[in-house]
Each structure stands twice: as structure tokens, then as C-alpha cells.
Amino acid sequence: MKITTRYASALLAGTLAASAMAEETPKADGWVGLFGEYYWVDNDKPEGLGTLDKGPGVGLEFGLHFSEQWAGRIEWSHLNIDGENGGSDESGDRVGVDALYFFKPNGNVYAFAGLKNENLDQTYRLANVGLGTHMMLAPQWRLMLEGALYHDFGEGFKDYSVKLGIARVFGADSPAAPKPAPVVAKASDSDNDGVMDAQDACPDSAAGTRVNANGCSDSDNDGVIDGQDLCPNSMPGSVVNEMGCADDDNDGVANNLDKCPATPMEDKVDADGCSIFQEESLSVTLNVLFANNSSIIGNKTDPQFADFAAFMRRFPNTQAEIAGHTSAVGSAEYNQMLSDKRAKAVRQLLIDQYGIAADRLTAKGYGETRLLDSADTAEAHRKNRRIEAEITVKQQTELKR
């Protein structure tokens, strides 16, 4: 077989003609291809009497785009080459890599160059160049057509091939169906207020109404549109709530409805803006210990007395009962008399030394009827000898937020 430039010319002319007719294809990030090829071997390859001729091959390739015009690929092909002039048939693999340059951004016509390793009767290391095209068959499918020239580094052999295959693309712009063209809506102003409908939050403003940038009327310029403003005549500069009403004491009730406009910040309020009160029960217990069979107070300056007096002054409308109690030692009659004397002694101390009005204090003895500890021990008797100054007051206090 003689390989002449006729083969190369026909091969390249066919590739260029197909490339010229191909249109630009959508961009993809990469592809996987399956191809068949026909391979012509240099008539001097290998050296000797018997040479290789030509034959078919099949192969796979995987490619990736690095930019709109540059890509790279890995290729494998299995060749079956006939022998000539007494040479034997040979089968083998060709593997290698190529760089591809697409002549237009996102185009389909490209030149390529690469390096290959070929095993037939022996191993050949080749450089190759060529032209190719990826013609779109469908949004995700391409027809591959290439022509290539191979040059052997060692012996200077020149081989040729033509390749036809199909590729499945993937990535950025490989949709299953063409994207519809966007519909551009024509700008309109239905209520003729100067604000286009696309930005108009109030598209039905009455003719002649003065509107803000959102197309809504706000008569008192408080930032709340008239349709939602419960106080449409707020004073200029007023700080208003979401209903357009001023609320100077920040209690949630607008000034025009607030019957208590200076409510403390911490108070809960009713619908009229006034503090809500509740009845609260308070109590204070004052314990005074006495020696056995005695009504004499030995600790008249104890801080408990001062604390109790301060409590009484804080709630000036309260009354307190000073209750006397004894241990179970001795007769019940005696203990009743002793507890009464002790209660009266404490009452008088609070009047004389701590300034509590006499009409706010009563004294009563309970003897041994309210024991804290019923055991017959010295410790139990000590606990039971006591004074309890008890006060229970129903006081109106403000509920806090």
C-alpha cells in the first residue's frame, strides 16, 4: 500500500467542510464519547520486508472544558491493522491525551494536538495534530468527526486516521430542552399616580391623590398609609406605632385613647391605658423570746423591731396583732395570763420606742394553744415561748410588664 498526500488532503477537506457547515452549540462542561475510526499506517512501518497497511478501530474518550475555547481529553482506541507484503496482521491499543482549541467561544470546530503511546507489533511513541468538530444532534448529544496526523518520534513514521463518533455532553448549558425566551412585561401605571405598577404598593389610589414613593397616600406623613392609619391626623414629627398613632408613654394605647397618659413604663395597663392593680396578701412575722415565767423583753434594740416598724410605715392603712405564746410547762390558766402579758409588753415597746400608732396594734395571748413543738424537752419549751407579731394586709399593687 502506498500512502500519499491524497489521503491526507481528502481527510482534512472533509473535516473542514463539515466544520464550515456546523453551527455554534450550547456550552457544556465536558463530554464522554464512543467512536469508530479507520487508521492508515506508514508503508515503511515497521522496518523490514513485511509492513502494516490499514484497519479499523474503536475507542472511548473523556473531555473537559477549561474555558470557552480550551479543553482537554483522554483517549483510548483498540486497532486491528492488516499486514502487507508478507507482514502479519496486528492488533493493539493506542492511549494518550490531547489539548483542544475551539476557534470560536462556545463553538464546535477545533484543532487539537497531543501525545500517544501505541502498541502494535512494538511500542511507538507518537505526536499527533488534527482538526475536528462537535456537531449538535440534540441538546445533550454531539456528532464527533475528526481527522488526525501521527508522527513517530523514533523513526519518523507518519500515520493517518479519520474518526466518527457520538458524545454525551454534561454540565453548564446542556439542558434537556431549549429555554424559552423571557417575556418582558410592558411597564404600566394603572392608577396614574406616577408610580409604575411593579413598584406600586397601592395600585388603586384615587385620582389626584398625593402618594409617596410606594404609590400610597399618607396624609400626615407619619410613615403609615392612610388605609391602615387609625390616627390620620398625627402631629408632625410624632413617633407613631404600626397603626399610625402616637403613644407617648409606650404602653400600647394610643394618646387619643389613653386615659392615663403618664403610666410608668414597667406597669401593665388596661384598654384605657391605666395601670392594672391586684389584691396582694402580705405578712410579716416577728419572733421575740422570753425567759421562763417572764414578760420582760431582754432585747429591746433588736433590729427585728425596727424592720417591723418600717414595714408598718410602708403600709399605713394596715392593722397588726401581737400574739403571745407560751410553752406547755405549768397550768393552762397561768400560761394564758403570761402570754397575754408578753403580747402587751411587745405592743407597748413598738408604740413607745418605735413610734407605731396605738390604734394600729392589738395584743392577744394564746397561752399554750399553738405549740410549735409538743415534745417535753427544754428545746421544745424554748421554741414555744415566743411572740409573733403577725400582719396580713390586702394591698393594691401594680402588675408589672
Q: Per the domain annotation, does 16 fall within a domain? A: yes
Average pLDDT for 348-360? 92
What would the grid cell of residue 145 be? 468527526
Q: What is the CATH number of the domain that holds 372?
A: 3.30.1330.60
pLDDT in tens, 156-194: 888 999 999 999 999 865 444 455 566 665 678 777 777
pLDDT in tens, 32-83: 999 999 998 887 777 555 678 889 999 999 999 999 899 999 999 999 988 8
Same-domain pairing of 285 and 143: no
Q: Which residues, listed in sequence order, are joined to residue 293 by a DSSP beta bridge?
A: none
Q: Per the domain annotation, does 193 fall within a domain? A: no
Total domains in the fold of the chain: 2
Whether residue 56 has a cis bond before it, omega within 30° of 0: no
What would the grid cell of residue 273 be? 391605658
Q: For the CA atoms of 147, 148, 149, 151, what is the dihedral angle to 10 degrees?
A: -170
**Residue with more model confidence, 220 or 386:** 386
**Residue with more model confidence, 258 or 233:** 258
Q: What does each C-alpha distance from 290 to 73, 127, 301, 304 come to in angstroms? A: 106, 118, 14, 15
Q: How far apart are the first and last CA of the chain?
A: 104
Between β-strands 361-365 and 320-325, what pairing exists: parallel, antiparallel or unpaired? Answer: parallel
Q: Which of 130, 154, 170 is the last residue of a domain?
A: 170
In angstroms, the CA 93 to CA 41 distance is 14
Q: Which of 170, 189, 209 is the last residue of a domain?
A: 170
Q: What does each C-alpha distance from 150 to 62, 107, 265, 323 come to in angstroms? A: 20, 25, 91, 120
Confidence of residue 267 (pLDDT cuts 50, 70, 90): confident
**Among all chains, which residue has been given the C-alpha cell 408632625?**
236
Same-domain pairing of 297 and 159: no
Q: Which of 118, 150, 170 is the last residue of a domain?
A: 170
Residues belonging to the chain = 401
Q: What is the mean pLDDT of the chain?
A: 80
Closest CA to 371 of 337, 343, 335, 340: 335
Residues contacting residue 219 through CB under 8 Å, at least 6 positions apart:
226, 229, 232, 233
In angstroms, the CA 335 to CA 331 distance is 6
Q: Per the domain annotation, does 302 fall within a domain? A: yes
Confidence of residue 154 (pLDDT cuts 50, 70, 90): confident
> Phi then psi for 335, rounded to 5 degrees?
-65, -35
Between β-strands 30-40 and 386-398, what pairing exists: parallel, antiparallel or unpaired? Answer: unpaired
pLDDT, position 3: 44
Residues contacting residue 237 through CB under 8 Å, at least 6 positions apart:
none
Q: Per the domain annotation, does 208 fall within a domain? A: no
SS (H, E, C) the chain: CCCCHHHHHHHHHHHHHHHHHCCCCCCCCEEEEEEEEEEECCCCCCCCCCEECEEEEEEEEEEEECCCCEEEEEEEEEEEECEECCCCCEEEEEEEEEEEEECCCCCCEEEEEEEEEEECCCEEEEEEEEEEEEEEEECCEEEEEEEEEEEECCCCCEEEEEEEEEEEEECCCCCCCCCCCCCCCCCCCCCCCCCCHHHCCCCCCCCCCCCCCCCCCCCCCCCCCHHHCCCCCCCCCCCECCCCCECCCCCCCCHHHCCCCCCCCCECECCCCCECEEEEEEEECCEEECCCCCCCCCCCCCHHHHHHHHHHHHCCCCCEEEEEECCCCCCHHHHHHHHHHHHHHHHHHHHHCCCCCHHHEEEEECCCCCCCCCCCCHHHHHHHCEEEEEEEEEEEEECEC
Q: Per the domain annotation, does 222 fall within a domain? A: no
Q: Per the domain annotation, does 19 fall within a domain? A: yes
Confidence of residue 219 (pLDDT cuts 50, 70, 90): low
Q: Per the domain annotation, does 29 fall within a domain? A: yes
Residue ranges making up the domain that contains 354: 281-398
What would the grid cell of residue 363 be? 395584743
In angstroms, the CA 160 to CA 3 distance is 9
Same-domain pairing of 14 and 162: yes
Q: Per the domain annotation, does 367 fall within a domain? A: yes
pLDDT, position 156: 80
Average pLDDT for 261-275? 78
User: At 265, which amino acid appears?
Assistant: M
Q: What is the CATH number of the domain that holds 102?
A: 2.40.160.20
Confidence of residue 208 (pLDDT cuts 50, 70, 90): low
Say yes or no to pLDDT of 89 above 60: yes
